[in-house]
Amino acid sequence: MAVSFMEGNEAITRGAIAAGCDFFAGYPITPATTIFSNMLKMLPPRGGLCVQGEDEIASIGYCIGAAMAGKKALTATSGPGISLYSEQISFAVGSEIPLVIADVQRLGPSTGSATRGADSDIQFLRWGNTGGAPVIVLAPKDAMDCYVLTVHAFNYAEEFRCPVFIASNKEIGMTRESVDLSAVELPSLVQRKMFAGDDYLPFQAEVNMAPPFLPIGGSKLVRQTSSTHGPDGYITIDPETISRMQQRLEQKIVAAQERITLFEEDLKKDSETLVISYGVTARAVEDAAAMLEQRGRPVSTLTLKTLWPVPETLLREKAASFRRVVVIEMNQGQYVGEIRRVLCGTKIDFYGQMDGVLITPAKIMEVVEDV
């Protein structure tokens, strides 16, 4: 068995290549830079394109242009770059442009700490667009997840024609670890549905679905616009048309919530507490759970890999038999609000830490045991 030694960022690029990504544009920013530098080594030999934009706004703009020409595009940045991406993310959300965005999170606010990890952007990724339509956010916990979730991210971007985020973290992206990529079966690839009829209306879609795609530059003329548009891609002020479009943007993702739900669980008999976490923190939670089990006080764990749309069905189902839920986050408490909303009535304790260092298993044990 030959095991690889790589950081999470490299695993994302290998996942992207496996997913058929053929376009990358980015701008260097710690701790995401090595996604860019790896793509720059990997794409040219595979016939893909990898360029550096003049800034973050341009980099994601290049991706939007390339995606509209039919490419599978990836960009990568960290919190300050997501801020700059924001207006373009809104465009991609509202105009249904498939895009994968890796956010290797660092400690915010603002420039914060370039080399310190945190799950800083969990709400920002969801709500950092004008209009409030949903996006998909996946959270890896290690290099293997970076690899696999990137393939899922491309599949979702293709199917739902929306930006899909990989909410990584400096502590995953820049941590090198042993990983056997050949040991995992990747999901089969999904390609965006192409239009096959005669008269192409670029935003004519079936109920709760993304519209079929045609590339700019193909034989049928395509219109793309960031303005509020009807099925024909022209500006509209017709309230019914606008409402239908808004509903569809929402529902195409919300209605598929159960299908988009990715997670890991370790439910133990005789445990009264369910610890919910995501990202790199989940690893410390698993360590803590193992030690508590050794001490004869088992707790169950649920690791969310899909953060948005909120896996409401899963949360309700998994939490149902527990007396108490504990949520651990590497921030001041961003996602616990969603869990409280979904599991209202359940006793929910929370521990958040945002100081540039990983939450230790010992701290988690202390929080879990402090009944």
Q: For residue 293, give every residue at least 6 positions away whose Cβ sits within 8 Å of its Cβ, in sequence order, or none.
A: 268, 299
Contacts with other proteins, 168-207, as mask; x by CB under 8 A:
---x--xxxxx--x--------------------------
Task: Tell me the closest approach of the beta carbon of residue 328 to other proteins, in angstroms.
Answer: 12
Task: Tell me the closest approach of the beta carbon of residue 78 to other proteins, in angstroms.
Answer: 14
CB nearer other proteins, residue 199 or residue 344? 199
CB nearer other proteins, residue 49 or residue 242? 49
Task: Tell me the closest approach of the beta carbon of residue 214 to other proteins, in angstroms.
Answer: 10
* CB contact at 8 A, 179 and 144: yes
CB nearer other proteins, residue 287 or residue 312? 287
Query: How far is residue 289's CA from residue 252's CA, in Å, rounded to a whole number?
Result: 37
Query: How far is residue 282's CA from residue 269's CA, in Å, rounded to a whole number?
Result: 20
Q: Which two tokens stand for residue 284?
A: 């410390």
Q: Which of 222, 242, 254, 256 binds other proteins (CB under 8 A)?
A: 222
Query: How far is residue 174's CA from residue 6's CA, in Å, rounded to a whole number?
Result: 9
Owner of token pair 């979730």: 149
HSE toward the beta carbon, residue 41, CA cutoff 13 A:
8
Type and span of the H or E element at 325: strand 324-329
CB nearer other proteins, residue 201 or residue 254? 201
CB nearer other proteins, residue 223 or residue 341? 223
Contacts with other proteins, 254-273, as mask; x by CB under 8 A:
--------------------
Task: Tell me the closest approach of the beta carbon of residue 365 to other proteins, in angstroms.
Answer: 11
Burial class (CB in 10 A: 0-12, 13-18, 19+), 266: middle
CB nearer other proteins, residue 227 or residue 321? 227
CB nearer other proteins, residue 155 or residue 175? 175
Query: How far is residue 179's CA from residue 59's CA, in Å, rounded to a whole number?
Result: 30
Q: Does 348 bind other proteins (CB under 8 A)?
A: no
For residues 24-83, which are near other proteins according to CB under 8 A? 25, 30, 38, 41-42, 44-46, 49, 51, 53-55, 57-58, 60-71, 73
Contacts with other proteins, 1-20, as mask; x by CB under 8 A:
xxxxxx---x---x------
Phi then psi for 49, rounded to 5 degrees?
A: -115, 140
Task: Tell me the closest approach of the beta carbon of residue 225 to other proteins, in angstroms.
Answer: 4
Candidate ranges 190-198, 215-223, 325-333, 340-348; the one touching other proteins (CB under 8 A): 215-223
Q: Which of 253, 326, 17, 236 is nearest to 146 (CA)?
A: 17
Q: Which of 208, 224, 228, 236 binds other proteins (CB under 8 A)?
A: 224
Query: How far is residue 228's CA from residue 242's CA, in Å, rounded to a whole number?
Result: 7
For residues 97-156, which are near other proteins according to CB under 8 A? 114-115
* CB contact at 8 A, 104 and 139: no
Q: Which of 28, 112, 218, 333 binds other proteins (CB under 8 A)?
A: 218
Strands 263-266 and 300-304: antiparallel
Candidate ranges 203-211, 271-279, 280-288, 332-340; the one touching other proteins (CB under 8 A): 280-288
Size of the site for other proteins (CB under 8 A): 77
Task: Tell me the closest approach of the beta carbon of residue 345 to other proteins, in angstroms.
Answer: 31
Query: How far is residue 189's CA from residue 17's CA, in Å, rounded to a whole number?
Result: 12
* CB contact at 8 A, 158 and 67: no
Q: How far is C-alpha 261 from the geometric centre of its chain's CA atoms?
A: 12
Q: Which of 194, 207, 235, 371 binds other proteins (CB under 8 A)?
A: 235
Query: How far is residue 220's CA from residue 16's CA, in Å, rounded to a whole number?
Result: 29
